[in-house]
Amino acid sequence: MADVAFLAEFADGHPTRSALELAAGAAELAAAAGGGAVGLAYGPGAADGAASLGAAGAARVVVLDSAAAPAVTVAGPLVEAVRAAAPVAVLAPATPNGRDLAAVLVGSLGLPAFGPVRAVHMEGGAVRCEMSTLQGAMITASQSASSAPATSVVLVSSGTYAPSEGSGTAVVSQAPAADSPQTKVRIVESATEAAAIAALEEAEIIVAGGRGVGSEAGFEALNQLAAALGGVVGASRAAADAGWVPYQLQIGQTGKVVKPALYLAVGISGAIQHRVGMQAAEHIVAINRDPDAPIGEFADLFVVGDLFEIVPRLTAEIERRKGA
Amino acid sequence: MAPPTSTQSQSSETGYRLSREHDELRALVRQLAEERIAPRAAEIDAKAEFPWDLKQLLAEHDLLGTGFEERHGGTALDGIGQAIVVEEVARADATTSLIPVIQKLGALPIMLAGSEEQKDRYFPRLASGEWLPAFALTEAGAGSDVASVRMRARREGEDYLLSGTKRFITHGSVANVLTVFALTDPDAGGRKGMSGFIVETDTPGFSVARLEHKMGIRGSPTAELTFDEVRVPAANRLGEDGDGFKIAMSTLDRSRLAIASQAVGIAQGATDAALAYAAERRQFGERIVDFQAIQFMLADMASQTEAARQLTYAACARVDDEDPNLAYWTSAAKLIAGDTAMRATTDAVQVFGGYGYITEYPVERMMRDAKITQLYEGTQQIQRLVIARRLLARAGVESRGR
Amino acid sequence: MKIVVCVKQVPATTAEKRYTSELRLDRAATEAVINPLDEYAIEQALRLKEGGVVDEVVYLSMGPDSASEALRRSLAMGGDGGVLVTDPALAGADQWVTARVLAAALDRLAPEVTLMGMASDDARGSLVPGAVAAIRGLPLLAYGAELRLTDGAAQIRRLNPTGFDILEAPLPVVASVTDQVGEPRYASLKGIMAARRVELTTWALADLGLDPAGVASLTRLVGADPPPAKPPAQVISGVGPDEAATRIADWLAERKLIA
């Protein structure tokens, strides 16, 4: 009988989408392990919102800290809470904050680490994790070694689990304070540069533009298509490097890794450095004027044509169907 | 008369071996060439502009000093190392590859015949790439026929006054310093009366009369230079009065090897481009690279380029060794490599089909660029003369040809 | 002030063999290179040295003997020394083992800043910097778009969806940087020649006071397969834009992605 813990990050008084996704995932895994999902909550609003994680799947929640401070500063109470709870796994989001905390857990307690995973199951009382490696060329399955401690740290990409809407409240407890070298990290300056850009990792529908879009102005058509679809805009590295979109929209090897239900790649050739950022999308549609573009090899629907002609017409058609 | 003996070159112990260092060097230059030079090639050709930015890039990465001693700030690479630099740049862009080529060519007369003082005076700035040199020998009436040079160098006290015109001087308009050949003793004729000089281009009386519009290597300025009583101190004369012809010939015997490397690079670039294109292009439901006709062309291009490359390296080793027969080797390398470049680029255009003819694809430029390797630094016909002369000499056959 | 940059030697990303109007890279899959993301860390460290803030840049790598290549390539970009930790017992080391071993080496080297790239290109692990920080008891400044050093402290600019935060911690720290640092420089020819002459330090586990039994991997691979084959794309071509738009909308509607 073993619990499955998960990192529950709060922001602006609410649980983040990753907290809700991991709550569902932890609940699913815990059911197979014969235990319950244990939330490890931190960030502004964590104390007040902890109980609500029950509806998301948590049996109980340990509140680490509610301060507005870098996530890594809760390392002290996190390590103690994990030591005390001894779960079979700790699920962490594959975001910079999640990775910071997962890494500190691995180093402090000497734990096996996996991920980002495509899937994780219980097998013989231990976790078995599936990961995509070598830029998607291989799917590997890993488990902890027999001599390893019983708690595994598992990085989970956004979109791997869907939040569930159940009922119930979780039992909330406060973690005892514990110091760590990470409390020395502090924010000395914060800047908001642009209107909040919707987190790409959390989007269900992404319309992404590449070199073929040609300019900042060219992205206007993609903005409209994304709006019509109820999605967000992303970009390949070529478009971000050219300054047509902010860096935060970059998807790929050195950008974001996304897993939306629909990825519409417009004017993107599909080189491997981009592919690794989006190949796990459920449906991939590509529009490109080059019939030999590599993206044709892994898209579900490949449309050969001029994006400047097709995208506005597609937007209009979608709007028309909505109105009808 | 005794029958001709074997025409085979005297075998010597000169072999060559490529090392790990050569591979690392090639990887460095190839990375620079693919990432920074290749993307500029089409623009350089279209605008016919000298790529100052790429000259700066090469200088910053110590690639213009490969022929200079470490004490002058160079990296003193062996002949094959210097060849690799030119080859890899030429694979991306023939115009840019002339920068390291001329950096050596312009300085060679000083390397061969200059005094230590002259080397110390000029080589540091050449090795660093701060200054560009050029080699000013050719005139309107003196191309293949070097001895027909007419430019005068009139002695006046401790100076010489140079008057005349030079034509087709690569980098003549961008050079800071020239190695110039002029008649100090017109009555003695070109072979005995020519002398070599180092001339700084900011000297009064020197001017660039015009630049040629060319078929290829369009970004490389080819200049007509006018000398109107340009004053050159005797301290800038190379060797003694009358040494000029020998210095010029000695220079060309070595510098033509750099052209061989340039040609090898152009041929390789064309072959690589043709292969990549053929692997993507589909006609009749198949990739054209799967058709034997295309495979045969690619096989010829690749193997002939490799042959030219290996011959060039063998020649480099002989130049490094100061082999008395080095002219035979460098001529053979330049002959084979130049013809290979022309053939490979023509075939590359053929592989591309109609697309090979339009400027959106690089092979038409490569074909236009390749032609010059059959013309400058000694036409292919001159190379054949040089080779034949050596062949006959070795076989003990008296030469009576024209 | 000393920075140690941890570099990893990885197989090169196999590039597509693709023709465009520029010549494309074509690297064999078996070629070993410096982890591309580590190059940004190298670039950041060298800039700090050029700025006069840092006196010494040393490279540290854990791997087989051939990983000395990665150290020499790093030195060819600039830097002062290289340390290789190599031991047969370390073959197939996981992130925990890597962190444990690097931490032991770093304790001996005692730099003010330990700098790494944000992840490795092969396994995409990314936890090593943080694990090293935890093991060494040092603050972690990860995912910096830029690293700055002030009097006794390090700062990183960390991007977030709405802008950025500047995070600061007192030295010594463990930091990682992203590709936002800027294009890594090329090696120069003189750099390559100088790198060949540098004497690398080599340590085995025993030199670090580590017992092979204490650094056994905590994870094990139990299976590796190519991903399930995806059916080939449905292709729409040779039709006008109106027709194409209609067909795309139909396709999306069939899958309930639009109304």
In the prediction, which pLDDT does B281 show? 87
Stretch A286-301: mean pLDDT, rounded? 91
Q: Which residue of C has its CA nearest to B25?
A: C189
Asked if residue B195 has pLDDT above 90, the reply is yes
C132 has a pLDDT exceeding 90: yes
Please answer yes or no on whether C187 and B360 come within 8 Å at the CB atom: no
Question: What tokens were used for B358?
Answer: 């339009």
Is pLDDT of B371 > 90?
Answer: yes
Task: Name the C residues in 143-172 with CB < 8 Å from any A CB.
Answer: 143, 155, 158-159, 161-170
Region C162-174: what's the mean pLDDT? 94
Is residue C190 within 8 Å of residue C76, measured between CB atoms?
Answer: no
pLDDT-derived band of residue C148, with 50, 70 and 90 as boundaries?
Answer: very high
* % pLDDT > 90, chain B: 88
pLDDT per residue as tens digits for the range B89-142: 999 999 999 999 999 999 999 999 999 999 999 999 999 999 999 999 999 999
SS3 C113: strand
Measured between alpha carbons, how far is C148 from C156 in angstroms, rounded to an integer? Answer: 6
Question: Measured between alpha carbons, how far is C59 from C80 in angstroms, rounded to an integer?
Answer: 8
Q: Which residue in chain C has the smallest CA separation from B30? A: C25
pLDDT at B50 over 70: yes
CB C8 within 8 A of CB C63: yes
User: Which long-range contacts (C-beta less than 8 Å, at least 24 apart) are formed by C28-36?
Assistant: C32/C66, C32/C69, C32/C70, C33/C9, C33/C70, C33/C73, C34/C7, C34/C8, C34/C9, C34/C10, C34/C70, C34/C73, C34/C74, C35/C7, C35/C8, C35/C9, C35/C10, C35/C117, C35/C120, C35/C121, C35/C122, C36/C117, C36/C121
Which range (A309-323, B165-179, B201-215, B221-235) has the least confidence?
A309-323
For residue C146, what are the β-bridge partners? C157
In the three-class reduction of DSSP (H, G, I as helix; E, B as strand; rest coil), residue C14 is classed as: coil
Chain A neighbours among C 25-54 (CB < 8 Å)? 37
Structure tokens at B206: 């020197």
Q: How far is CA A304 from CA A215, A309, B234, in A?
A: 20, 11, 71
B156 is catalytic: no
Q: What confidence tens digit (pLDDT) does each residue in B118-127 have?
A: 999 999 999 9
Strands A262-266 and A232-235: unpaired
Tokens encoding B186: 């017109």
| Res C189 pLDDT > 70 | yes
**CA-to-CA distance for A190 and B55, rounded, in angstroms?**
43
Q: Find all residues with CB under 8 Å of A294, minimum gap 6, and list them.
A: A269, A270, A271, A272, A275, C16, C18
**What is the rounded distance in angstroms from the CA atom of residue C227 to the CA atom of residue A141?**
12
The better pLDDT of the pair A105, B401 is held by: A105
- Is there a contact between C249 and A102 if contact means CB atoms under 8 Å apart? no
Q: What is the mean pLDDT of residues A105-132?
A: 90
Residue B12 pLDDT: 63
Of C237, C252, C259, the CB nearest to A304: C237
Report in angstroms the alpha-carbon separations of B345 from A300, B118, B258: 39, 41, 19
Q: What is the mean pLDDT of chain C?
A: 88
H-helix or E-strand spanning residue A102: helix A96-109
**pLDDT at residue A197 in the model:** 62
Cα C201 to chain centroid distance, Å, stands at 21
Q: Name the pairing type of β-strands C234-236 and C9-11.
A: unpaired
Q: How far is C67 from chain B (nearest CA, A)?
A: 15
Q: C231 pLDDT band (50/70/90 cuts)?
A: confident
Q: What percent of chain A has pLDDT over 70?
A: 97
Test the B interface: residue of C23, C25, C50, C77 with most B CBs within 10 Å: C23
Residue B10: its pLDDT value, please?
Answer: 55
Q: Is the pLDDT of residue B13 over 80?
A: no
B94 touches chain C (CB under 8 A): no
Query: Which pLDDT belongs to residue A198?
Result: 63
| For residue C16, pLDDT beyond 70 | no
- The pLDDT of residue A137 is 74
A119 bridge partner residues: A130
Mean pLDDT of the region B11-37: 88
Residue C29 has pLDDT above 60, yes or no: no
The whole-angstrom distance between A170's CA and the closest CA on chain C is 30
The mean pLDDT value for A8-12 works out to: 93
pTM of the full structure: 0.82
Q: Which chain C residues have a beta carbon less than 8 Å from that of B63?
A: 189
* pLDDT confidence of residue A108: 96
B151, B183 contact by CB (below 8 A):
yes
- Give the pLDDT mean for C199-212: 95
Q: Residue B36 carries which DSSP code?
A: I
Give the pLDDT score at B401.
67
Phi/psi of residue B149, each to 5°?
Answer: -55, 140
- pLDDT tens digits, residue range A58-87? 999 999 999 999 999 999 999 999 999 999
Identify the pLDDT of residue C230. 81
* Percent over 90 (pLDDT), chain A: 67
Torsion of CA A293, A298, A303, A307, to 10 degrees: -60
Mean pLDDT computed over B236-264: 97
